[in-house]
Every structure is written in C-alpha cells, then in structure tokens.
C-alpha cells in the first residue's frame, strides 16, 4: 500500500530499458538459436503465488510453462521456513482481513477465494498436517518448509488430474514483452486483397505475447497466449526478487507505486547522536527486549500501542513488535523525517511501585545492580536506560521511574529494502481488474508481492500471496475461455 503517485521508469531504476522487437540478440558461439517455444500460458516467477497459479491452470486443463531465474523453485519460501514455516494465522477472518490496512477490501476479496482455512485444507491435501501455536500462528506439524514444497512440486509435475506443469529454471526474463501480431487472413484467387483497416484499440486483446528469457544456453523466445507475472517485490534480492521489472512494466503504461521496505528494522537517533553508543553496539546488539510496550503517534495522528518483543541491532531496532508497526513507522518518517517512539520496559508495574523500589536505600549498589536485582531488568534494558539518561538523571528516582515506562527514541530511517522481510508498493491495484489482469495489457496477469499491498508477519504475507495466485490463475483461465480461437499461425503448443 502506498499513497505515492505513479512513477516513471527512469525514476525507479538505473537499469537499461528492455530489448524491443527489433533488437539483435547475441547468441553464444557454438549454440544454435532455437525456434520460439509456443504455449498457452507462460508464468514468470516460481514463488508461492506463481506455483499456486500454475496449480489452478493445470487443473483447468491448460498447458503451463513456468520460468524462474533461480536454479530451484520457492527459494524465499524455504528461507521463511528456517525458523518454522508460518503458513497462516488462526484468528477470525474479519480480524485477519483487517491486517491488510488500506488494502483490506482488495486483499479480502482474494481471501474469500482462498482464505486461511482453505490454505490449511490445501496443505492437508498434500499430506502436510498443521497445528495452531500459542500465538495463533499456524505451522506444519514438523515446522519445515521443504516437505511441503516437495509434495507440491510432485503434484504439479504429476497431477492426478490436469496437465503437468513444465518448469524452466535459470531463465531470467529480460523485460521483453511484446504483443504478437494477428495472423494475416488467407487469400484465395476469388478473394480481393484486404486493405488496412483501423488499428486495434490499445487495450484490445492481442493473440498472445512474445517474451525473451536469458539462460545458460542463451536466449529463449516464448510465444504465449496469456502471461502471468509473479515476480516478487524487492526484498531479499539474492533470492530472485529484485524489482528489476518496475521500469519494464512502466514502459507499457502500467501504473506503479515505489517499492519500499516493509516488515523491516529501523535506524535510531538518541538525542543528537545518530545510532547507539559504542558500548551498546559491542555488548548488546542482538539482545531481545521482551515484553515491552511500544507507543507512538502515526502520520495521521492515530495512537499506536502494542506489547511484544523487539531486538537491539547495530543501528537500531527490529523484530516482530517493530515489524507489526513498520508501515506506520515508515510513513511517519517519510512525512516528518523521523518519528518519536516510547518503550515501556515495565508495563506490568505501577509508577508508584517502581518509584518506591528506586527510592529505597541503595546500600552502595550501582544503578545497574539495583535495576537488575530489585526490578528484574535484563542487562540490555539497563544499557538502553543509560543511553537516554544523563549521569545526574540516573540518580533521580522519579526521572528513572518515568523513563523506564516512557523511554524515548527517535527512528530516523527504515533499513534498506534488501534487508526487509517484504516490500510495499509495486503494481497499483487500481490498474488491474478483479481477476488481476493488467488493464493496459489484456492477457497479462499479476500476482503476489509484486502487487501494491502489505501485511505484517504472522502468516498474512504467505496467505495473501497464495490467494492472489489463485485469483489470478482462475481469472486467466476464464479469460482464455472467453477469447475467440487463436488465429495466429503458430505451431501447436507444447
């Protein structure tokens, strides 16, 4: 979700423009150029959204060719499963839908087609049992992503019904996406030659699209009747989602919003100093702050308050509590340059109890020892208190008690998008129809994280990615059924 205006290709990326139909493509020496691959459906992107779309289309009886730049499929899904694959969340569906913020209505329609319970049923169909954890998060019984992915790929390659999906790995889309020209009508001696007529509307459906993909054996040219893009956002680019597609789609008139970090950490400022002291960086970077309460006011003047856990980093804060507020924090920083947050380190204690403990005689104990022994404050939280209080303030029980429950920090920047768990921005939903087809490019559909929505961690990201893949797959199948027979002169699809 983003409130920014649509962007141009030049403003989004320094990457060169995609190749055009008249470009000359180098072929490695010793490799014979291959004829175009013709297929009904080409999917670019083998993450959860692309795989779900492929499953839907296979079940609809369509031959699907799936392309991805990485050596294997589902790389980000496997990464997410390292600490336990959080498939979805067990909270009631209305609350679940509300997690998508300003895009709740749009994402809610996807979830009506494939919601959290449907996802659990789907996993059970693969032989993967799930359970609900203490936080209401849903996990596979063995917590792992690999068994689920293996079972999924087996079903895609060898479906009980439907058409096997063809996978093409190490094939990176170059950005080339050109409508195929309609085949010229056949002439007979008794038929006068046809004369040019008014060109098709810019949004009329072509007979298909030509894509160029680069791989170890050179360029592959694909002619597909319909295309589904599931290219991801720009988080974790080493796993394949680098946002390179933004300027390429912009050249086709696709409405885009800037890609921005979501579910990310933030850099802090303490007073006039940017970042933590050297002592905190060296001793406590990586330490968890458990059971703390986060408060701040967002860019719209709305108060945010939530309890949870966050982590001290070399440059600031991250962790589930920060991720839950990352969209509001990011937007507040964009609006004002920084946002003031407050951490309550002792949310279960009354102010009077805190002050009474702090006013008791120290018996020669340092403040740090007193805080650890009497208040049970972990060393990392003691260090955090020292970051914001002067030596004189540390001897004032009233000041210390107030700061323990209202510790002020300024967040000044989100961490780079490459470090984020997910990204916001991408293809504007206003430029898609309800089936997730691009309005400027009839027959081209989009799904997954490349769309302009965001959600917190907790299973919401994966559920909506898969739901959007299902919606786009169903929409593509329906769109193909509604098209007239392809008149383009092309070999049979393989």
- What is the 8-class DSSP label of residue 458? S
Distances 35 to 32, 222, 446, 491 between C-alpha atoms, Å: 10, 9, 27, 11
- Rounded to the nearest 10°, the torsion over CA 236, 238, 241, 247 is 110
pLDDT at 112: 97
The DSSP code sequence of 259-327 is EEEES--EEEEETTEES--HHHHHHHTT-EEEEEEEEEE-TTS-EEEEEEEEEE-SSEEESHHHHHTHH
Instruction: List the end-to-end C-alpha distance of the chain, in Å, as a whole number.
Output: 39
Instruction: Give the distance, in angstroms, between the CA of residue 234 and the centroid of all CA atoms in the same chain.
Output: 8
Give the mean pLDDT per block of 10 residues along the chain (494 residues).
38 38 41 82 97 98 97 90 92 96 96 97 97 95 95 97 96 96 59 40 74 95 98 90 95 97 97 94 97 96 96 97 96 97 97 90 76 91 95 92 96 96 97 97 97 95 98 98 66 43
| Cα–Cα distance for residue pair 55/42, rounded to 1 Å | 13
pLDDT at 238: 86
Helical H runs in 288-432?
Answer: 320-324, 326-336, 351-359, 367-375, 379-388, 397-404
pLDDT at 82: 86
pLDDT at 489: 36
For the chain, what is the radius of gyration of the CA atoms? Answer: 27
Asked if residue 313 lies in contact with residue 265, where contact means CB atoms within 8 angstroms, the answer is: yes
């Amino acid at each position: 979700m983003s409130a920014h205006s649509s962007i141009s290709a030049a403003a989004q990326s320094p990457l060169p423009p995609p190749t055009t139909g008249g470009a000359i493509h180098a072929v490695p020496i010793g490799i014979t150029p291959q004829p175009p691959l013709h297929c009904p459906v080409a999917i670019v992107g083998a993450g959860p959204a692309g795989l779900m779309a492929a499953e839907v289309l296979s079940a609809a009886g369509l031959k699907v060719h799936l392309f991805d730049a990485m050596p294997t499929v589902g790389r980000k899904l496997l990464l997410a499963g390292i600490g336990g694959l959080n498939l979805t969340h067990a909270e009631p569906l209305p609350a679940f839908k509300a997690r998508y913020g300003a895009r709740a209505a749009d994402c809610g329609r996807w979830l009506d087609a494939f919601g959290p319970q449907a996802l659990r049923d789907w996993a059970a169909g693969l032989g993967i049992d799930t359970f609900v954890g203490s936080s209401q998060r849903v996990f596979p019984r063995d917590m792992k992503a690999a068994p689920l992915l293996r079972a999924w790929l087996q079903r895609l390659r060898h479906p009980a019904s439907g058409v096997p999906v063809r996978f093409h790995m190490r094939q990176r889309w170059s950005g080339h996406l050109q409508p195929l020209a309609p085949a010229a009508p056949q002439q007979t001696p008794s038929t006068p030659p046809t004369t040019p007529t008014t060109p098709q509307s810019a949004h009329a459906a072509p007979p298909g699209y030509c894509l160029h993909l680069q791989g170890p054996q050179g360029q592959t040219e694909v002619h597909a009747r319909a295309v589904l893009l599931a290219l991801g956002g720009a988080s974790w680019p080493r796993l394949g989602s680098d946002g390179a597609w933004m300027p390429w789609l912009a050249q086709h008139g696709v409405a885009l919003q800037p890609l921005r970090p979501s579910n990310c950490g933030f850099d802090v400022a303490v007073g006039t100093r940017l970042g933590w002291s050297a002592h905190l960086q060296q001793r406590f970077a990586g330490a968890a702050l458990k059971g703390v309460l986060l408060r701040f006011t967002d860019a719209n003047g709305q108060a945010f308050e939530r309890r949870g856990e966050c982590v001290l980093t070399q440059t600031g804060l991250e962790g589930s509590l920060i991720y839950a507020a990352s969209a509001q924090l990011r937007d507040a920083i964009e609006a004002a340059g920084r946002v003031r947050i407050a951490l309550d380190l002792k949310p279960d204690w009354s102010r009077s109890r805190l002050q009474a403990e702090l006013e008791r005689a120290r018996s020669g104990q340092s403040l740090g020892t007193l805080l650890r022994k009497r208040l049970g404050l972990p060393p990392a939280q003691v260090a955090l208190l020292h970051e914001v209080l002067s030596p004189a303030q540390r001897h004032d029980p009233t000041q210390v008690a107030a700061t323990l429950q209202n510790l002020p920090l300024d967040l000044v920047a989100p961490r780079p998008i490459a470090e984020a768990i997910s990204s916001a921005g991408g293809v504007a939903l206003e430029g898609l129809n309800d089936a997730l087809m691009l309005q400027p490019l009839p027959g081209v559909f989009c799904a997954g994280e490349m769309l302009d929505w965001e959600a917190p961690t907790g299973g919401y990201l994966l559920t909506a990615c898969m739901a959007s893949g299902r919606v786009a797959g169903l929409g593509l199948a329906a769109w193909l059924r509604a098209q007239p027979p392809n008149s383009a002169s092309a070999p049979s699809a393989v």
